[in-house]
Structure formats: C-alpha cells, structure tokens
Chains A and B, each alone.
Chain A
Amino acid sequence: MSTAPTTQTAVAPPRSFARRVWDSDVFFSFRRSPVTIVAALMTLVLVMSALLAPWIAPYDPFNPASLNLMDGFTPPMSTSMTGNYFLLGSDHQGRDVLSTILYGSRVSLFVGGSATLFAIVLGVALGLTAGYRGGLTDAVIMRIADIQLSFPAILIALLIFGIARGLIPPSRHESMAVWVLIVAIGLSNWAQFARTVRGATMVERQKDYVSAARIMGVNPLRILLRHILPNVLGPVLVIGTIGLALAIIEEATLSFLGVGVPPTQPSLGTLIRIGQQFLFSGEWWILFFPAVTLVLLALAVNLLGDWLRDALNPRLR
C-alpha cells in the first residue's frame, strides 16, 4: 500500500494503524468472507477459553481433594447426588467434563503450537540453507525431506516417540512426555516448510537486491535472515496455519493411541480415549464433548489457513 503520495494524502492527517489494517487487501478479503469470520471467532473463543482455563473452569479437575466419586457419571445439565451442577456432565471419576475439556484444549494447543513452531524453525532454517547454498548441501537436505515426505507423518512421530522412550530413563517418562511429543510431531512435519522455503529462496537469490548485498560484502547469514527471510515468509504462514490444525490432530491421534501425553495431564485425544471406554454403557457425553471440541478446533484453524492461502496468493486476485 505504499503508493506515491497524492496531493490529497499530503494534506490529510496520516492514517492510523488500525485504519491501514482495515483498508488492507488481506483484511478486505477477511471482511468479505463470513465463513472466515466465524472460523476466526471460533478459534478466538477456543484459544481464549483454553488460556483462561484455570480462571473460568467451574471445577479444578486435577485436584484430587475436590473430586468426589459420588459425582461420577452425572449426565449433562444436571445436578449430582452431592449437589454439584455439571453443564456437560461428569466422567467416571466425577471430574467435570467441561473443565477437563478446557484444560485439555490447553494441552492440545500447547503441544500443537509448540510442535508447529519447532517444525517451522527447523524447516525454514534448513530450507534457507539448502536454497542458498545449493550443491551438495541442497541435495542432502532435500533427499532427506523427500524420503520423509513419502512416509506419513504419524508413522514418523510414532517412531521418534518410541526411540525417545528408549533413550530416556523410565522414571522420567511422564515428566518428559510433553516435550518428547513436541519434538516428535515437529520433526515429522519440518519437510514441508523446508521444501517451500527452499524453492522461494532459490528464486529470491537470483534477484538484484541479493546480488547487491553480496557485492557490498554483507555477511551471508545476515543476507539470509534480513534480506531473504522476510520475502519467503508468506507461504510459511499459510502452511504453518494448516500445519497447526494437522499437528493438533496428530497430537490427538497419538494421545488416543496411548503414546501421547500422560493421563495426569490429559489432552483432548486422551479425553477421547477415556470416553471411548464408556461408549457401550451409554455415558456418551464423556466422549462426545471432547470430540466435538477437537473437530471444531481443527476445522476452525483449517478454514483460517484456507482463507489465508487465498488472501495471500496474488495469482487468485
């Protein structure tokens, strides 16, 4: 939007930041798409309620002192024998389902977000290096990425999880589980970022501004980080958003399989795993509400990613 100033803008007061955001192309396409607005609101609500879980959750589901087994299996929107009210029902241990979901989405979002961030940092770094250096470095990094991309992410994450389990002493499994999970999911997703960034870097490095910087004797690291990186970040943002949705689902799948976060720190996937046990005895709410939350979360983030892809893609304009 940095067009040559016309006479009108020269006399008018400078537009505020909010005004510039409101008028920008990206935000314009946002305003025009009701689906995106709903998705953004949904994401906002889910993320905020996860962040604020300790303050807005009606019960503390992980404090054994506040749990009462007499509260177990209370159906949604009813009061238990001990007089506690459960909006979404309670599980077999008498934990409030709504509260476990709030805390659970916190774990899901934290693991998914950290894993995606890790994948982005690793993928972008390797992609920049491969694209800028070329030659053997490029060949090695990209072959590894190719091989990895031909295997499903979930398989690779499982494998890394298994290896880490073997290397870490059993006494520390529980405390390390979340970090192992983040590394496993992150390592299983970096290749996509590396491939995209490498392609974009190879285009950018041919351009005059990079040659100019190189002739001026700018340090290669500085060229990569200050000159090239900002120009290749657009697609990373798009893949990153969709990658976040995938990472959340991947984490849920791993936790559902029983190789994710420990039961003392349940994520949405763990809650679904627990709820599955009560499917046959009719306590559907223990499974249903965490499942719906997971689907809504993944769907909303996915829709945001789709919109971002269309909004940032100049070819579609």
Chain B
Amino acid sequence: MIAFILRRLLQSFIVMLVVALISFMLFRYVGDPVASLVGQDARIHEIEALRQRLGLNDPFYIQFARFIGNALQGEFGISYRLQQPVTELILSRLPATVELAFASALIALVFGVVLGVFTALKPKSAASAVIMSLSLIGVSLPTFLIGIGLIYVFAVELQWLPSFGRGQVVDLGSWRTGLLTESGRRSLILPAITLSLFQLTLIMRLVRAEMLEVLRQDYIRFARARGLSKRAINFGHALKNTMVPVITITGLQLGSVIAFSIVTETVFQWPGVGSLFINSVQVVDVPVMAAYLMFIAFIFVVINLTVDILYYAVDPRLRVHGIGAGK
C-alpha cells in the first residue's frame, strides 16, 4: 500500500516537474519578458541592467529553480493584459468555475446513476430506448452547440432563464458566490446542464453496462432465492458493486469538466478561470497561460492520485492481489 502510494506520488511529481518546465519555457522564451516591462524608449544599457536585475542572464537551471520556487509560493508574475498579479486574477475567477464544475458534476452523477439504473432494470421498455438514443445524440453534439441550443429554447423563446453571466453575487470574504441569490442560482442552471450533459451520458452508459453485468452474477440469483426484496437486491447488492468504476470515471472526468468549462464559460459569458484563459490565449498573455497550465496540471495530478487511492480503499480485491493488479 505504502509502496503503491509512494510510486504514484513520484509519478505525479515527475509530471508536475515536466509541466513546470513547459510553463517556464513558455514564460521565458515566448515573448520577451523585458520588452513587456520597459517602455518604448528604454536605452539598451537600461534594458541590460534590468535583465541583470531580473536574473535573466543567469544559467538556465538557476532560472528554472527560481521559477519553481516562485510557483510554490503562488507567484506567477503580472498579467500583461490586465496588469494585475496572476495569482490574484486566478483566485478571483476560481469560485465561479468551481461552483459551475461542482453543480454540473452533481447533476451528472445524480441523473447519470438514476437513468443508468432505470435503463438497466427495464432494458426493454420504450422509455429506456428513448433515453439510450437521446444519450447517443448527446455524445455526438459538440458542447457549444448544446449550450447555444439551450440558450435559444430557455432564454430566447421561453425567457425562463438568463442566458449569460452569474447574476447577483454575494461576497463571503474572498469567496464570491452566486449560490445565495435567486438570480445567481437561476444563472447557474443552463451552464451547469450544458457542462454536465457529456459526463451524464458517460456515467449513465457506464452504470447501465455495469448493472447489466452484475445482475447476471450468481450472488444476485442467490439473493433472489433467499427472498430478499427487489429494492434490497437492486440497490443494496447490485448498485453497490457497480460503484467502483463509476467513482473512477467520475473522478477522472472532473478534470475534463474543468477543461470543457472553457467552452461553456465562453458560451454563457461565465466569468470563470476558463474564460480568463481563452482571453489570455487570444492576446498571448504568457504569465496567465503559464499559471493556468500549472494550475490545471496540479488539479489533474491531485485528482488522479486521489482516485487511485480511493480505488484502493473501495475495492478490497486490489489490496489482496497487491500493487500490480490495479495499473
């Protein structure tokens, strides 16, 4: 167990180091950091003095070490475009993205499991057939078209829900939440559904496949023979055993949720980290791009690590077979 976790930790560490290297090269070699700091009429020796002072003439590894040291302290420099510290910018945009991601993960998990169980228990009903074919369409439609479609139906035609922004927000110290106001909650609905649809179909198909598999097992037949109630069999025995892959996939997909939120945030003009990143790419705001890259990589690494350890905790078989069985 300890060896397993240590090995995964080492792998995560290497991934972070590689990403940091890419970030650093981006930072250092894409665009001239000095040119963005000094004015048009700076003299050459002034520029040279600044280079010296900023340590840009130091050897590569020293600069890289300094970059990592700064990154560990959450220091990524100043955005070229907005002239604000990057860390501050990202932190101020983070609550919007986190609320959106969690709302959509919740929707995906709840509806995914419910619909998956339903289609597995009643595979021949008409409702199941409809749900399954709808899910196929959901997978093949690009996210941004789903968002636009929802806007057209619910914001333009029916005028039930707002089509952009976060609505009214409340400051809770450093966390700015939209969950406490009516308009904030209403604004969250459409983007959260858009973001959740892909995960929802994925979870649903997974739960369905796993349930169908489990329901064929001998211990289910045995449970039926013992005269257990349908509910106890379906939920206590069958569903419980389908949860391991569902947890894994949901966890691993959380990273994709954050990535897809770039698209959703653009469609709904949601003021989150994703739209910050897109705007930075458009104008090559290198410090923000580098910081976002590190940030996303960190989230991915933490998620992967957590899922691996959770997997280990949830599935006792892995513990018996040892380390090699999982991956």
Indicate with 1 or 0, residue by residue over A166-184, a CB within 8 angstroms of chain B CB atoms: 1100000000000000000
Given A295-B141, A298-B142, A154:B281 Cβ within 8 A: no
The answer on a CB contact under 8 Å between A162 and B255 is no
The answer on a CB contact under 8 Å between A154 and B278 is no
Q: Which residues of B contact A279 (CB under 8 A)?
A: 148, 151-152, 156
State A133–B266 Cα separation when bound (angstroms): 44
The answer on a CB contact under 8 Å between B142 and A252 is yes
The answer on a CB contact under 8 Å between A159 and B289 is yes
State A151–B140 Cα separation when bound (angstroms): 20
Q: Flag whether B5 is at the interface (Cβ < 8 A).
A: no
State A152–B300 Cα separation when bound (angstroms): 11
State A161–B284 Cα separation when bound (angstroms): 10
Indicate with 1 or 0, residue by residue over B286-305, a CB within 8 angstroms of chain A CB atoms: 10010001001100100010
The answer on a CB contact under 8 Å between A155 and B266 is no
Given A147-B15, A165-B281, A279-B151, A154:B259 Cβ within 8 A: yes
Q: Choose among A155, A249, A284 the residue that contacts B262 (Cβ–Cβ < 8 A).
A: A155
State A229–B75 Cα separation when bound (angstroms): 49
Q: Choose among B252, B267, B281, B300 the residue that contacts A162 (Cβ–Cβ < 8 A).
A: B281
Give the number of A-B contacts (CB < 8 Å): 89
Q: Which among A67-75, A113-121, A208-216, A253-261 touches the partner chain? A: A253-261
State A302–B137 Cα separation when bound (angstroms): 12
The answer on a CB contact under 8 Å between B262 and A150 is no
Within 8 A of A (CB), among B217-276: 252, 255-256, 259-260, 262-263, 266-267
Q: Choose among B26, B151, B281, B297 the residue that contacts A259 (Cβ–Cβ < 8 A).
A: B281
Q: Which residues of A contact B144 (CB under 8 A)?
A: 252-253, 256, 272
The answer on a CB contact under 8 Å between A158 and B140 is no
Q: Flag whether B31 is at the interface (Cβ < 8 A).
A: yes
The answer on a CB contact under 8 Å between A155 and B30 is no
The answer on a CB contact under 8 Å between A152 and B18 is no
State A259–B144 Cα separation when bound (angstroms): 14
The answer on a CB contact under 8 Å between B263 and A253 is yes
The answer on a CB contact under 8 Å between A162 and B151 is no
Q: Choose among A162, A272, A276, A299 the residue that contacts B289 (Cβ–Cβ < 8 A).
A: A162
Q: Which residues of A contact B255 (CB under 8 A)?
A: 150-152
Q: Which residues of B contact A147 (CB under 8 A)?
A: 15, 18
Q: Which residues of B contact A299 (CB under 8 A)?
A: 140
Interface of B is mostly: helix
State A53–B263 Cα separation when bound (angstroms): 30
Within 8 A of A (CB), among B139-162: 140-145, 148, 151-152, 156
Q: Flag whether B40 is at the interface (Cβ < 8 A).
A: no
State A291–B252 Cα separation when bound (angstroms): 30
Q: Which residues of B contact A280 (CB under 8 A)?
A: 156, 163
The winner among A162, A163, A259, A294 for most chain B CB atoms within 10 A is A162
Q: Flag whether A287 is at the interface (Cβ < 8 A).
A: yes
Q: Flag whether B280 is at the interface (Cβ < 8 A).
A: yes
State A298–B277 Cα separation when bound (angstroms): 27
State A161–B281 Cα separation when bound (angstroms): 8
Within 8 A of B (CB), among A237-281: 249, 252-253, 256-259, 272, 276, 279-280
Given A158-B277, A253-B143, A298-B142, A152:B256 Cβ within 8 A: yes
Q: Flag whether B282 is at the interface (Cβ < 8 A).
A: yes
State A165–B293 Cα separation when bound (angstroms): 16
The answer on a CB contact under 8 Å between B26 and A163 is yes
Q: Which residues of B contact A253 (CB under 8 A)?
A: 142-144, 263
State A205–B30 Cα separation when bound (angstroms): 42
The answer on a CB contact under 8 Å between B286 and A291 is no
Q: Which residues of A contact B15 (CB under 8 A)?
A: 147
* Residue in chain B with minimal CB distance to A150: B300
The answer on a CB contact under 8 Å between A162 and B262 is no
Q: Min CB distance, A269 to chain B, in Å? A: 8
Q: Choose among B143, B262, B300 the residue that contacts A151 (Cβ–Cβ < 8 A).
A: B300
Q: Which residues of A contact B297 (CB under 8 A)?
A: 151
Q: Which residues of A contact B282 (CB under 8 A)?
A: 258-259
State A243–B31 Cα separation when bound (angstroms): 33
Given A158-B277, A258-B282, A298-B142, A152:B266 Cβ within 8 A: no
The answer on a CB contact under 8 Å between A294 and B142 is yes
Q: Which residues of A contact B284 (CB under 8 A)?
A: 162, 165-166
Given A158-B281, A259-B281, A302:B140 Cβ within 8 A: yes
The answer on a CB contact under 8 Å between B260 and A272 is no
Q: Choose among A152, A165, A167, A249 the residue that contacts B142 (Cβ–Cβ < 8 A).
A: A249
Q: Which residues of B contact A272 (CB under 8 A)?
A: 144-145, 148
The answer on a CB contact under 8 Å between A298 and B140 is yes
Within 8 A of A (CB), among B38-53: none
Given A166-B31, A259-B281, A279-B152, A291:B289 Cβ within 8 A: no
* Residue in chain B with minimal CB distance to A276: B148
State A155–B31 Cα separation when bound (angstroms): 21
Q: Which residues of A contact B289 (CB under 8 A)?
A: 159, 162
Q: Min CB distance, B272 to chain A, in Å? A: 14
* Residue in chain B with minimal CB distance to A273: B144
New A-B pairs, 18, CB < 8 Å, besides A257-B263, A272-B144: A152-B259, A155-B259, A158-B281, A162-B281, A163-B26, A165-B281, A166-B284, A256-B266, A258-B278, A272-B145, A272-B148, A276-B148, A279-B151, A287-B148, A294-B142, A295-B140, A299-B140, A302-B140
21 contacts between A and B (CB under 8 A): A151-B255, A155-B259, A158-B281, A161-B281, A165-B281, A166-B30, A166-B284, A253-B142, A256-B144, A256-B263, A259-B281, A276-B148, A279-B148, A279-B151, A279-B152, A279-B156, A280-B156, A287-B148, A291-B145, A291-B148, A302-B140
Interface residues, chain A, CB within 8 Å of chain B? 147, 150-152, 154-155, 158-159, 161-163, 165-167, 249, 252-253, 256-259, 272, 276, 279-280, 284, 287, 291, 294-295, 298-299, 302
